[in-house]
Amino acid sequence: MLDLRQVPRVFDTKPWAAHLYVTEQCNLDCHYCNEFNNSIPHPALADLKKWMDHIRNLGVMRLGLQGGEPLKHPDIVDVVRYAKSLGFCKVSMSTNGFLLNRQLLADLEGAGLDELQISVDRMTPIASTRKAMKSIVHKLDWFKDSKV
């Protein structure tokens, strides 16, 4: 249950939301994005926990997990679980969706993920986009039975 005393007031000077980059790595190399750097190792889970502790101690209530591609981080489910244990009222993630599978979605839901945003490169009908969309669209059906 959310403690309303922890919810920031309208004129509170504390930040209410923050984004944490959990990795610089990505499985795609989109022309418009500079977040693709597979040579940089993932931050250790212990470091991510320290950063989340600091963010939460600032009074932040919403945490967005981003990257690169957050699903590339081998401990992403543990990252979500730890964020929820700190009392963030909303934990979200932005992904390209290519690495998502039913089990991972179930694991993220079980860890407490509140929102999963799937980013689409473009909506123009070029061959590579049609192929990419086919690999993502069927995954949207998985959300029918999910709380994410």
Looking at per-residue pLDDT, the higher value among 139 and 61 belongs to: 61
Q: Is residue 23 a contact partner of residue 35, using CB atoms and an 8 Å limit?
A: no
Q: Give the pLDDT of residue 31.
A: 72
| Predicted local confidence at residue 38, as pLDDT | 84
104-142 b/e (C-beta count within 10 Å ≥ 16 → b): ebebbbebbbbebebeebeeeeeeeeeebeeeeeeeeee
| Lookup: tokens for 64 | 């967005």
pLDDT at 73: 98
Is the pLDDT confidence value at 3 over 70? Answer: no
Q: In the CATH hierarchy, which fold is given to the domain comprising 13-145?
A: TIM Barrel (3.20.20)
Per-residue pLDDT at 88: 98
pLDDT for 127: 46
Phi, psi dihedrals of residue 115, rounded to the nearest 5°: -150, 135
Residues in the chain: 148
Output the pTM of the full model. Answer: 0.80
Q: How far is CA 11 from the centre of its chain?
A: 27
* Average pLDDT across the chain, whole number: 85
- Res 13: pLDDT: 72
The number of C-alpha atoms within 13 Å of 43 and in the hemisphere containing its C-beta is 21
Q: Residue 143 is encoded by which pair of tokens? A: 């959300």
DSSP 10: T
- Is 1:47 a contact under the CB 8 Å cutoff? no
> pLDDT tens, 90-128?
999 999 888 999 999 999 999 999 999 988 765 555 545
Contacts of 26 (CB under 8 A, 6+ apart): 33, 35, 36, 37, 38, 67, 68, 69, 72, 96
